[in-house]
């Protein structure tokens, strides 16, 4: 589903999720920035301009206890055999018309 979004749209969605949760937990922006150990201007840059480092984004998710939002990032692909790994790296053959 997320493959239909642009990276910018995903970041905007993350801002919405984080801001909604911040308000639900009755935290001010300054308080959340303090809990996440990031500077307030960095948090505001994220909210208003959608710019943040990956490390600071993770800190915000941890501070708000939004661990489930990270699960997909940490899933490793499993393989049944060495052959499956080898076949994944090969490019599909060209089809001539």
Least confident of 4-18, 24-38, 44-58, 62-76: 62-76
* Structure-token pair, residue 12: 């905007």
Domain membership flag for residue 56: yes
Count CA atoms closer than 13 A to 81's CA, side-chain side. 3
* Structure-token pair, residue 20: 């909604």
Domain membership flag for residue 10: yes
Domain that holds residue 11: 2-65
CATH number at residue 7: 1.10.260.40
Domain membership flag for residue 88: no
Domain membership flag for residue 95: no
**Predicted confidence (pLDDT) at residue 55 exceeds the cutoff of 80:** yes
SS3 state of residue 76: coil
Residue 57, C-beta contacts closer than 8 angstroms, at least 6 positions apart: 14, 46
Rounded CA-CA distance 69/97 in Å is: 44
Entry pTM: 0.73
Domain count, the chain: 1
């Amino acid at each position: 589903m997320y493959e239909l979004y642009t990276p910018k749209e995903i970041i905007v969605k993350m801002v919405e999720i984080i801001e909604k949760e911040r308000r639900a937990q009755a935290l001010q922006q300054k308080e959340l920035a303090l809990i996440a150990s990031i500077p307030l201007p960095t948090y505001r840059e994220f909210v208003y301009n959608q710019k943040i480092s990956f490390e600071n984004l993770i800190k915000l998710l941890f501070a708000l206890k939004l661990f489930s939002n990270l699960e997909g990032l940490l899933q490793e692909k499993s393989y049944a055999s060495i052959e499956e790994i080898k076949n994944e790296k090969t490019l599909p053959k060209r089809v001539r018309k």
